[in-house]
Amino acid sequence: MTKPKTIISLVMNLTAFIITVAVVISYFFEEPNILIQNGFDSFRYFTTDSNVFVAIASLIVAVCDIRILAGKSDHIPDAVLMTKFMGVAGTTMTMCATFLFLLPHYGVFVISGSLFIVHAVTPLIVLLSFVLLETTCHITVPKSLIGVIPMMVYGLVYMVEVGFIGEQNGGWADFYAYNRGGHWLASGILMTAGCFAAAFLTAVLHNLGVKHSSKNIQEKMEREHE
């Protein structure tokens, strides 16, 4: 990464971390509603979980950026970038689900107030930084499957809490309405496909950024040797 890209990456990653912390703190003071619960109950939602995960990953990337700018390192470790990849895939899934599923179902409420930040702003910030700036790690097809891990883990927890335990027995309410009309199977298939699609899309976009970055470096080296 060049110095300008590293600086921009640092700013974007710190921004993602700070606004996520601010939003999560606000959940301890806002009145609960259908998509926001008070305090720790907000972690029942994948939106909160995915944003917190990617915020932590972004903070780690920011630390790596600082080390690079300080001359203590010359790259972001692949393990760090793959961790952020899992987070970005999750928030990309959140953003897509918001506009393709939740928005038609719940209306503009899902992109109002703090929900606009966690459903659109943070997902876009981390996606753009990962695709355009942190382009030193090519993600192969097998590695892209790593991106579905957080989403699949959450999906299993949601299925157990909603489908097997049930709200009447102390489990979660079906706040995502995936079982509306008894369509668990269809919803499960669609959401599983969505998880893989989000991870694959994120990997493809990132790899395009890697390819473009590598091409620019090669052209610069060729000009220097002319």
Among the residue ranges 22-26, 107-111, 119-123, the one predicted with the least confidence is: 107-111
Question: What is the 3-class SS of the chain, one letter each residue?
Answer: CCHHHHHHHHHHHHHHHHHHHHHHHHCCCCCCCCCCCCHHHHHHCHHHHHHHHHHHHHHHHHHHHHHHHCCCCCCCCHHHHHHHHHHHHHHHHHHHHHHHHHHHHHCHHHHCCHHHHHHHHHHHHHHHHHHHCCCCCCCCHHHHHHHHHHHHHHHHHHHHHHHHHCHHHCCCCCCCCCCHHHCHHHHHHHHHHHHHHHHHHHHHHHHHHHHHHHHHHHHHHHHHCC
* pLDDT bucket at 35, cuts 50 / 70 / 90: low
Average pLDDT for 128-139: 93
pLDDT at 222 over 80: no
* pLDDT bucket at 216, cuts 50 / 70 / 90: low
* pLDDT bucket at 32, cuts 50 / 70 / 90: low
pLDDT tens for 183-204 read 677 777 888 888 899 999 999 9
Domain ranges within the chain, ordered by starting residue: 3-224
